[in-house]
Amino acid sequence: MSAHVRRAAVLGSPIAHSLSPVLHRAAYRELGLSDWSYDRFEVDEDALPGFFEQLGPEWAGLSLTMPLKRAVIPLLDSVSDTAASVEAVNTVVRTDDGRLTGDNTDIPGMVAALRERGIEQVDSAAILGAGATASSALAALARICTGEVVAYVRSEARAAEMRQWGERLDIAVRTADWADAERALHAPLVIATTPAGTTDELSHAVPERPTTLFDVLYDPWPTTLAARWSAYGGAVVSGLDLLVHQAVLQVEQMTGRTPGPLDVMRKAGERALAGR
């Protein structure tokens, strides 16, 4: 490989489904970065240290998906306050002096995706689910929500985790049982962070005048809940919106070129999903 080529990639397990190569390569083409490459590698937690040992100076950065967002932290020279706030890194950038720095673009990506739809601030919100994405959603809400967030979860252990995240992020969090999740749909902003199919059971309960739904899934799309929400006239922010906005921030950090080509990257993602 030419010494002038700059490399980047997405790591995770499983990784074959990742749209990141489509988005980043589209950005490189638009920015005229013909000497940049972006790949995907199947890497689990056990293999991650060995992968990092092989990183040469040609590497500009990495995108990380599950299960590596926490496992990568001990391998880095520094971590941003944003990433530290949720103990999750999805972006690694090599600085000019060779240091590896970690950041989390999911959180500002969520905020940007909502802002694009006119959501600058809400007085309360609901979160469906309590996994890693839910903690990032809480961190995003800490920036835009002035009141209480209600998290609907399936177990007391998960409920305790969400309350702890709320204390850490300085946002008021109340937890409720998943059996009452239909109530979430009346919140000014609903963020669904659960796996595919989980929220299908709630679609019959969409109110006549729904507000805004942020469903972090993107394949298959639309989800049953998102389709019903949209049919009733509610605003819907998709997982592709989140994916594109966080990827734009990654491109900007890795390449130093701003602004990242948001529209070009979104269209590339839409084409890729349509072809699946």
Token pair recorded at residue 123: 């007085």
Name the residue with tokens 């592709």.
240
Half-sphere exposure of 162 (CA within 13 A, CB side): 30
Candidates 6, 40, 69, 158; catalytic one: 69
Phi then psi for 177, rounded to 5 degrees? Answer: -75, 145
**Token output for 50:** 């060995």
Residues 55, 59, 65, 68, Cα dihedral to 10°: 30
CB 235 within 8 A of CB 212: yes
DSSP annotation of 101: E
- Catalytic, 69? Answer yes
Residues 77 and 85: beta-carbon distance below 8 Å: no
Token match 């839910």: residue?
134
Looking at the annotation, which residues are catalytic? 69
